[in-house]
Amino acid sequence: MAAKKRSADSSVRDRMIALRDTINRHRRLYHTLAQPEIADAEYDQMVRELEELEALHPELVTADSPTLLVGGDISEAFAPVEHRIPMTSLDNAMDVDELRAWGERVLKGLGDDADVRYCVELKIDGLAVSLRYEQGRLVQAATRGDGRVGEDVTANVATIANVPKSLPSRLDLPDVLEVRGEVYLPIDAFERLRAAKELENAERVSAGKKPEPVPVNPRNAGAGSLRQKDSAVTASRGLAFWAYQVGEVVGGPEFASHHDTLDFLSALGFPVNPNIRVVDSLAEVEAYCRDWQENRHQLGYEIDGAVVKLDDLAQREALGFTARAPRWAIAFKFPPEERTTILDDIQVSIGRTGRATPFAVLQPVFVGGSTVGMATLHNEDQVRLKDVRPGDTVIVRKAGDVIPEVVGPVLSLRPKASKPWKFPTKCPCPLQSTLSRTEGESDTRCVEPGCPNQRDQRIIYFASRGAMDIEGLGERTVFQLSDAGLVSDPGDIYFLDVEQLLTLEGFGRLSAEKLLAAIDGSKTRPLPKLLTALGVKHLGPSASEALARAFGSLDGVMNASQDDLATVDGVGDVIAASITSWFERPDSKEFIEKLRRAGVDFGNVEVSRAPQVLAGKAVVVTGTLDGFDRDGAERAIKDRGGKSPGSVSAKTFAVVVGREPGASKVTKAEELGVPMLDEAGFVQLLETGELPA
């Protein structure tokens, strides 16, 4: 028995040593070098495993364990700065149960009858910094570093536009004021940086040189931008700052609550995030976290969770700190949207227009709320510029409902025998037709009209929710129908019968009749749906709606001249030329007549006679209105020539706010100064096209 126990202890000790070494290596890559090889979620998993092992075996805990440390080592490229008050890290809650457990610990520490208020804020995915002001002037800026010592980045922080360089003269201005916050790279600035690097790589590839790594996310790009040796480079990147805490304060006012300190910082000109809320219960904290987890992509910057803090500063003092984190705060982490995994293979799929799209076959990984086994690689140029190869460890990103994407490879983990992937020259369909790429275009296409892959994808697209919305006619059924020779284009589905469907695997009489009923029901879909379903290149839902309003029927669109089509708002010359060319093809004419024989409604609908008072204006509707359902409100806007997008932007003309509106839309409108209307104001807008006085 004793021998077995020693063996178990040895196994645990070896695992803990391996975890410490691996975690410390990745701490340095992430915090010091801004060159992470794994996603945050993998790092968090290792730290959590080490914490659990240390809790079970406290005798094996070492003084240098990374679970006791904050941040990372400082870079030798910058002078060290000792923090007068340590910059601690935060403990994490990975789910609601862990958040509630933290809440119970707080009440236990304060007393179950304590009156607790919480300040909850977005967890900005950036780099923590400390700004020191003496007599109202910025004298030093430092990174968090290891919590005790950071890096002097004063010259670089001074280039950030929304960081105050001097504070307004006030009687209560502290002699020393340390402001802590997050430096981050806004998403639009990140996209510009990424596009510039991709353009530079294209030039390198053309010159026969290897492409350089492309920034994979705003956090890493922001950290790298702040740590530039040349502050002019930092200034060009467009970094920004949110203040969220005070550190050392000498002189000045006394504060009783955290939100008092934030109000004070805001009054001095510091940018304080507008989405910070003070709430009275943990249930409200949970609701805040749920709302922002769902709406995180409505923001112009990346967040990876929410930070929950006690608002009362005296209660914070009473709870104190652990070795590395305050007991009075916790970070609620959202599910990861980036993970690393192995790219097993790169294959090519053929779409309805013949477009050949490369995609990655991945070792399955849970990311963005689902398990991902495949991810898009867009086109030949993107594969070459990203230089991803079979066998690579790659970063996979899935944000919300967005299609999973391979962001790039982890070059330090690339196998030595790796070779660049080459785009195939033959279509993967049985015809093995030649793939071609027109000069000046980024897409490679199969131009064989009889390509079965294109045929199947056209039928799948025709039946999809955004087109004719035929429930039950998904990929599997389409492939069955195609393999059985029952369909050759989307029009054939309207001539199927029960007996034919009964020959397919998995179909009984009831399921066959149900599918035929769904197909029959699609014959009366609105004209915009039918136009979209045709699969004309460049013709999407928005242009289809505009054409339906302008011409009233499919025959009206079909018989319109190219010039007439191009004059419709939202169509233009490119789409008009594509529509005209499509309707002139013999196979398109045959397809249209097949739909006509089947009894598909070509949409002889009444063209809107409403005055086009909202022409060119985007109006967003959020919440519940008394006089309109959601579709009715959007239709009223579009009938008057307007657009009704699902999100608020700088181009939004107005936001209509009903009962229980989306918090993110209201917040975005406030940030951008977009006018907000109640229902009465909306009615007036529909009548006049003008905002109420």
pLDDT grade for 536, boundaries at 50, 70 and 90 = very high
Fold category of 338-411 in CATH: OB fold (Dihydrolipoamide Acetyltransferase, E2P) (2.40.50)
pLDDT at 2 over 70: no
Percent of the chain clearing pLDDT 70 (strictly above)? 95
Write down the domain spans for the chain. Answer: 2-69, 92-193+212-333, 338-411, 446-524, 527-598, 618-688
pLDDT grade for 238, boundaries at 50, 70 and 90 = very high
pLDDT computed for residue 400 by the predictor: 63
pLDDT computed for residue 611 by the predictor: 86
Percent of the chain clearing pLDDT 90 (strictly above)? 53
pLDDT computed for residue 78 by the predictor: 81
The pTM is what? 0.60
pLDDT at 385 over 80: yes
Which CATH number is correct for 527-598, 3.40.50.1820, 1.10.150.20, 3.90.1150.10, 3.20.20.10? 1.10.150.20
List all residues 6 or more positions away from 289 whose beta carbon is below 8 Å from its beta carbon: 96, 99, 120, 305, 306, 332, 334
Mean pLDDT in the chain?
88
Give dist(CA 531, CA 594) in Å, integer: 15
pLDDT computed for residue 569 by the predictor: 79
pLDDT computed for residue 5 by the predictor: 42
Segment 105-121 mean pLDDT: 92
pLDDT computed for residue 201 by the predictor: 83
Note the CATH architecture for domain 446-524: Orthogonal Bundle (1.10)
Task: Tell me the per-residue pLDDT of 315-367, one tens digit each, with 9 for 90 and over.
Answer: 999 999 987 789 999 999 988 788 899 999 999 999 888 889 999 999 998 88
Q: Quick check: is 123 catalytic?
A: yes
The CA angle 410-415-419, to the nearest 5 degrees, is: 95
pLDDT at 4 over 70: no
More confident residue, 406 or 1: 406
pLDDT computed for residue 3 by the predictor: 41
- Same topology for domains 2-69 and 338-411, yes or no? no
Q: Which of 4, 5, 108, 123 is catalytic?
A: 123
Fold category of 2-69 in CATH: Helix Hairpins (1.10.287)
Which CATH superfamily groups domain 618-688? BRCT domain (3.40.50.10190)
pLDDT grade for 283, boundaries at 50, 70 and 90 = very high
pLDDT at 199 over 90: no
Least confident of 31-40, 100-109, 232-241, 319-328: 31-40
pLDDT at 71 over 60: no
The three state secondary structure string of 533-562 is: HCCCCCCCHHHHHHHHHHHCCHHHHHHCCH
Amino acid found at 425: T
List all residues 6 or more positions away from 264 whose beta carbon is below 8 Å from its beta carbon: 246, 253, 255
Task: Tell me the per-residue pLDDT of 428-462, one tens digit each, with 9 for 90 and over.
Answer: 988 898 898 888 777 888 988 789 999 999 999 99
Domain 92-193+212-333, CATH: 3.30.470.30
More confident residue, 208 or 104: 104
Least confident of 57-66, 318-327, 513-522: 57-66
pLDDT at 118 over 70: yes
Sheet containing 329-333: give its strands across: 92-93, 329-333, 303-310, 118-124, 277-279
